[in-house]
Homo-oligomer: A and B are copies of this chain.
Amino acid sequence: MTFTVGVIGAGQLARMMIPAAVNLDIDLRVFGTGPGESAALAQTATGDWTDLEAVRAFAADVDVLTFEHEHVPQQVLRALEDDGVAVRPGSGALLYAQDKLQMRTRMAQLGLPNPEWAAVQTADEVSSFLASHGGTAIAKQPTGGYDGHGVRRITSADEVSDWLTPELLGAHDGALLLEELVPFTRELSQLVARRPSGDLAAWPLTETIQSAGVCSEAIAPAPGADAAVLAEAARIASTIASELDVVGVLAVELFETADGRLLVNELAMRPHNSGHWTIDGSVTGQFEQHLRAVLDLPLGSTELCDSCAVMVNVLGGPETPEARAEAEAEVLRADPAARLHWYGKGYRPHRKVGHINAFGTDVQAVLARARRDADLMHRDSTSPDSEVK
> Which residues does A use to contact B, with CB under 8 Å?
1-3, 15-16, 18-19, 22-25, 41-42, 283-284, 292, 297-301, 303, 305-306, 321, 324-325, 328-329, 332-333, 336-344, 354
Interface contact A344-B1, CB-CB below 8 Å: yes
CB closest residue in chain B, given A342: B25
Q: A206 CA to B6 CA in the complex, in Å?
A: 39
Interface contact B297-A328, CB-CB below 8 Å: yes
Q: A312 CA to B2 CA in the complex, in Å?
A: 20
Q: A23 CA to B340 CA in the complex, in Å?
A: 6
CB closest residue in chain B, given A42: B41
Most chain B Cβ neighbours within 10 Å, of A2, A303, A337, A354: A2
- Say how far A336's CB is from chain B's closest CB, in angstroms: 4
Interface contact A332-B298, CB-CB below 8 Å: yes
CB closest residue in chain B, given A330: B298
Interface contact B303-A342, CB-CB below 8 Å: no
Interface contact A332-B297, CB-CB below 8 Å: yes
CB closest residue in chain B, given A292: B332
Q: A328 CA to B288 CA in the complex, in Å?
A: 14
- Say how far A304's CB is from chain B's closest CB, in angstroms: 11
Interface contact A301-B336, CB-CB below 8 Å: yes
Residue from B18, B292, B321, B329 in contact with A22 in the complex, judged by beta carbons closer than 8 Å: B18
Interfacial chain B residues near A292, Cβ < 8 Å? 332
Interface contact A24-B340, CB-CB below 8 Å: yes
Interfacial chain B residues near A24, Cβ < 8 Å? 328, 340, 342
Q: A25 CA to B325 CA in the complex, in Å?
A: 11
A–B complex contacts, Cβ < 8 Å, 25 sampled:
A2-B321, A2-B328, A2-B342, A3-B325, A15-B22, A16-B22, A18-B19, A19-B19, A19-B22, A22-B41, A23-B339, A23-B342, A24-B340, A25-B342, A25-B344, A41-B41, A283-B336, A292-B332, A297-B329, A298-B333, A299-B332, A299-B336, A300-B332, A301-B336, A305-B306
Interfacial chain B residues near A15, Cβ < 8 Å? 22
CB closest residue in chain B, given A328: B2
Known: A1-B344, A2-B325, A301-B337. 10 other contacts (CB 8 A): A2-B321, A3-B325, A15-B22, A24-B342, A41-B42, A284-B336, A297-B328, A297-B329, A299-B336, A300-B336
Interfacial chain B residues near A297, Cβ < 8 Å? 328-329, 332
Interfacial chain B residues near A340, Cβ < 8 Å? 23-24
Interface contact B305-A343, CB-CB below 8 Å: no
The 5 tightest CB contacts between A and B, nearest first, are A19-B19, A25-B342, A298-B332, A298-B333, A301-B336
Interfacial chain B residues near A343, Cβ < 8 Å? 25
With contact pairs A42-B41, A325-B3 given, residues A337 and B303 touching in the complex (Cβ less than 8 Å): yes
Interfacial chain B residues near A325, Cβ < 8 Å? 2-3
Interface contact B23-A19, CB-CB below 8 Å: yes
With contact pairs A2-B324, A306-B305, A325-B3 given, residues A300 and B337 touching in the complex (Cβ less than 8 Å): yes
Interface contact B18-A298, CB-CB below 8 Å: no
Most chain B Cβ neighbours within 10 Å, of A23, A41, A336, A337: A23
CB closest residue in chain B, given A15: B22
